[in-house]
Amino acid sequence: MQTSFTVGDLSVEQFVVGSLENNLYVLTTPSSDEALLIDATSDEQSLLDEFTRRNVTRVVITHGHHDHIGGVGALRSRGVKVLVSEPDAPLLDGYDATLVDNELIRLGSLALRIVATPGHTPGSLCISPEGIKVLFTGDTLFPGGPGATQFPGGDFPTIISSLRRIFATCDDDTLVLPGHGASTTIGAEVGSLDDWVERGW
């Protein structure tokens, strides 16, 4: 499944792929002929061809779980640069650069801020386009709660701290685009944080 929309100068194409229905996002701006991909779930030939046609030159990995990195090798073989947080880099077979908290990635005239949000994995991150109320959350935040923390490297108090940071810095009308499933907004989720803490997941 594929959908597309535009927010300000940011155009987003969303691809839903794989048995876990991962969301992949291709970002473009009018000021650049390059595109940036968020996550690399699949090495399916037709999908790789789509990314090549869109001139995807870089992919940002939100975290190193297998369902988000399955296409890394195939993308790198096509010259796409793979960017991942340093804590999650060992989970990948290969990468080209590591990312740190608050680092800015340029896409034409648009800056994409890297927000470290550990908890689902030690190196989980979100991507926040500067001046645009959109947040790509990977598996950190979904409609109805945080990402799972029962896997190796996951930690529930840590992901709650990450969510507190997000909620404190994002406006309520910020669109949340997660790594699986439907979108939501910060305002729709922020009031439930204490309930999530009480239930423990």
Quick check: 140 and 149 in contact, CB under 8 A? no
Q: Specify which residues 111 forms β-bridges with.
A: 106
Domain range for residue 138? Answer: 2-199
pLDDT tens string, the chain, 201 residues long: the values are 689 999 999 999 999 998 999 999 999 999 999 999 999 998 999 999 999 999 999 999 999 999 999 999 999 999 999 999 999 999 999 999 999 999 999 999 999 999 999 999 999 999 999 999 999 999 999 999 999 999 999 999 999 999 999 999 999 999 999 999 999 999 999 999 999 999 999
Helix H or strand E encompassing 135? strand 134-138
Alpha helices, DSSP H only, in the chain? 45-53, 66-69, 72-77, 156-169, 186-190, 193-199
Q: How many CB atoms lie within 10 A of CB 31?
A: 11
Sequence-distant (6+) residues with CB within 8 A of 14 are: 2, 3, 4, 23, 24, 25, 177
pLDDT tens sequence across 85-101: 999 999 999 999 999 99
CA–CA gap between residue 5 and residue 128 (Å, rounded): 16
Number of domains the chain is built from: 1
CA atoms within 13 A on the CB side of 120: 23
45: CATH: 3.60.15.10
Quick check: 62 and 162 in contact, CB under 8 A? no
Q: What is the dihedral of CA 16, 165, 128, 36, to 10 degrees?
A: -50
